[in-house]
């Protein structure tokens, strides 16, 4: 599985750690920036990753900002994106099983590196459960088509 990853300045350090972790776990990735702690605007990075996942160039995306909230809001504007802000292993697992989340967003200022790694590990290995959840995801797609 190939992963698109990006952050803003607030998430930069954690993104770098997560890249090392992805290497350890054996996942390939492309880093869409940012590449320093200089202040940037998170929607620019959310868009890069969200587009690449929506276009199926990457199977999953990981976005890191201070809270994970801005990245989640921005990424979810791209049709086909189901970005989930997760703060523990349970939300990570459920965002995959029930929501087939294709982007994980994390808040670097609100969690430890250890917690972020635990979340990433669970999120990447959990499969979508399908069944009744597929019907609900179709309804989300219908909402996208209304606007
Ligand atoms: C940047 O200061 C901060 O606002 C951003 O990283 C993020 O938390 C927004 O949701």
Per-residue pLDDT tens over the stretch 18-64:
999 999 999 999 999 999 999 999 999 999 999 999 999 999 999 99
Nearest-5° Cα angle at 36, 15 to 68: 40
User: CB count, 10 Å around CB of 29?
Assistant: 18
User: CB count, 10 Å around CB of 95?
Assistant: 25
Q: What is the pLDDT of residue 68?
A: 98
- Which atom of ligand 1 is found nearest the CA of 70? 10
Q: What is the pLDDT of residue 33?
A: 98
Tell me what the pLDDT averaged over the chain comes to: 98
- Which residue's CA is the nearest one to ligand 1's atom 8? 66
Q: What is the pLDDT of residue 47?
A: 98
User: Cα of 7 to ligand 1 centre, how many Å?
Assistant: 10
* Sequence-distant (≥ 6) Cβ neighbours of residue 71 within 8 angstroms: 8, 11, 42, 45, 46, 63, 64, 65, 83, 85, 105
User: Cα of 106 to ligand 1 centre, how many Å?
Assistant: 11
């Amino acid at each position: 599985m190939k992963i698109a990853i990006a952050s803003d300045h607030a998430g930069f350090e954690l993104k770098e750690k997560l890249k090392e972790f992805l290497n350890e776990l054996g996942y390939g990735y492309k880093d869409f920036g940012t590449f320093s702690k200089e202040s940037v605007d998170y929607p620019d990075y959310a868009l890069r990753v969200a587009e690449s996942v929506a276009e199926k160039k990457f199977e999953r995306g990981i976005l890191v900002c201070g809270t994970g909230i801005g990245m989640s809001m921005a990424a979810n504007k791209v049709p086909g994106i189901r970005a989930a802000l997760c703060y523990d292993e349970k939300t990570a697992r459920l965002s995959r099983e029930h929501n087939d989340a294709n982007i994980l967003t994390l808040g670097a200022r609100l969690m430890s590196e250890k917690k972020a790694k635990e979340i990433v590990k669970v999120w990447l290995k959990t499969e979508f459960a399908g069944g009744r959840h597929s019907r609900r995801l179709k309804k989300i797609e219908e909402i996208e088509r209304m606007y």
